[in-house]
Structure 1
Amino acid sequence: MSFDKTIHLPVNADEAFALITEPERLRRWQTVAARVDLRVGGEYRWTVTPGHHAAGTFQEIEPGKRIVFTWGWETGMDLAPGASTVTITLEPDADGTTLRLVHEGLTPDQAAAHAEGWNHYLERLVAETSTASGAGPDAWAAAPDPIDHLNCAEASLAVLLGVQRKLTPADRDKATPCESFTAHELLDHLAGSLQHIGGALGADLSDDTDATPEVRIAGLAQVSLEAFSRRGIEGAVDMGFAELPATMVAGILNVELLVHAWDFATATGQEVVASDVVTDYVERLAQQTISDQVRANGSFAPAQPVAETAGSLERLIAFTGRTVAA
């Protein structure tokens, strides 16, 4: 069985090729995170939605014209990485580019499931290229089901990158809710935290300080989360200053990603778009992670009051010592 669909994109073929191959562009319409080694024989790994990771290798590459790659899932679907093949062909037309996607090597059940997925994401690709607002946040990535430490971290990363995508150089020196941190200093802090956590998990990290905030953090977080996924959340992690339960390290990672998303958004007049499923879960992790001892060493201020009618995001933010506007 196969899935075969053709769409029109109002962009030239080179731009269309970038949208289907470059991590920064893929995150606009299809993935939470993406690692791409764009060469024949090179591997890719895409976090399509939290907890669901597609992987394979590139078989043919003709920039601006055609790309062929194997496709499968690390877990679920009974379709291992490399077990099926996707071919995307680009043809210039009078108003842009015709894109044809053919996914072959599927069982009837797999074809039906992938048809739903490809239709969803190809619609988002059309929206990304056709509307001023782009595809916007993906509802499929908002509320992992089931949710766990690592799926929640990937959903929190999606929230953070959505905020960082809108940061501009003019935001660099803006004050943030983190005391004494400008937006740029907070970015450095977050990058350092990801390097510390990823390094403790055995990840090979490279911090591109010249990249945009989104690209910089996406690169560090992608590698760190992959390392966590390989390791799992059992046992303890040597963090250098102490051995901590892996579940606590995962809790710290979730708090860093989601709370700092709120910090950046507050500093730059943005709104955080996060589901209650995610904010409720991170609130519980924060309660397990931020002890009186942690507050005493200055990492977090005392918990702040919050209205009884406050939502879970506001409760989380107040618990971390930040003031939530009435």
Structure 2
Amino acid sequence: MEMEYGSIEQELHIDAAPDVVYEVISSPEHLREWWPDDADLVPVPGATGAITFGDPTSPDATIVPLTVLEADPPRRFVFRWVYDESPATETNSLLVTFDLVPSGDGTLLRFRETGFRERGWEAAVLEEAYHEHVHGWDLFLPRLVTYAAKLGARP
């Protein structure tokens, strides 16, 4: 029997226009408000950067390289990120896709992270990494919704 652990997918409604949500998911100053402690990236295809979890000046901080694959405002933002190697490539990283669809006065955000099985991890490592990412996105995506809605409500 084959294990799933292939992708994490969520759909969220956000009370903000797609252009606002796009900025929240693609620009460092907004990313820092809901996800990493620091972000250094330019949201253009081919750009490389990093996000940091923890105090960026501490040796204990986790710096995660990423590569932007698609930047199509206000519809789609896609990047690869990798914890243990640099740079993030097709063979060593996970793929994160944010698709934004206008929905009434807001946005339907379709989130997907894939590439877990493709990493070639042994079963226990695969399962642990997958569950860590599920837990992380379950924490951070609601923060994205709240933050973007707050920005979208500004006059």
Q: Under TM normalisation by the shorter chain, which class is it? A: 0.7 to 0.9
The aligned counterpart of 1:9 is 14
The aligned counterpart of 2:3 is none
Is 1:62–2:67 an aligned residue pair?
no
**Rg: which structure is higher?**
1
Work out the CA distance in 2 between the residues paired with 1:131 and 1:57.
28
Contact 2:17 / 2:107 at 8 angstroms: preserved in 1? Answer: yes
Work out the CA distance in 2 between the residues paired with 1:80 and 1:4.
24
Is 1:44–2:49 an aligned residue pair?
yes
SS where residue 120 of structure 1 aligns? helix
The aligned counterpart of 1:118 is 137
Point out the structure with the larger strand share: 2
Contact 1:33 / 1:48 at 8 angstroms: preserved in 2? Answer: yes
Work out the CA distance in 2 between the residues paired with 1:2 and 1:33.
25
SS where residue 47 of structure 1 aligns? strand
Q: Which amino acid aligns with 1:108?
A: E
> Which ranges of structure 1 fall in alignment gaps of 5 or more residues?
133-326
The aligned counterpart of 1:73 is 83
Q: CA deviation at 1:22?
A: 0.8
**CA deviation digits over 1:21-71, x for unaligned, max 9?**
111111111121111122211012011334122222111221100111111
Contact 2:76 / 2:100 at 8 angstroms: preserved in 1? Answer: yes
Contact 2:21 / 2:107 at 8 angstroms: preserved in 1? Answer: yes
Work out the CA distance in 2 between the residues paired with 1:39 and 1:131.
25
* Distance of aligned partners of 1:66 and 1:130 in 2 relative to their CA distance in 1, 3 Å threshold: closer
Contact 1:11 / 1:97 at 8 angstroms: preserved in 2? Answer: yes
Q: Where does 1:1-326 land on structure 2 (aligned, <5 Å)? A: 1-50=6-55, 51-74=61-84, 81-82=88-89, 83-106=93-116, 107-130=126-149
Work out the CA distance in 2 between the residues paired with 1:110 and 1:130.
30
> Which ranges of structure 2 fall in alignment gaps of 5 or more residues?
1-5, 56-60, 117-125
Contact 1:74 / 1:81 at 8 angstroms: preserved in 2? Answer: no
Q: CA deviation at 1:95?
A: 3.0
Q: CA deviation at 1:129?
A: 2.9
* Distance of aligned partners of 1:41 and 1:66 in 2 relative to their CA distance in 1, 3 Å threshold: same
TM-score (norm 2): 0.75
Point out the structure with the larger helix share: 1
Q: Determine what percentage of the aligned residue pairs are the same residue.
A: 28
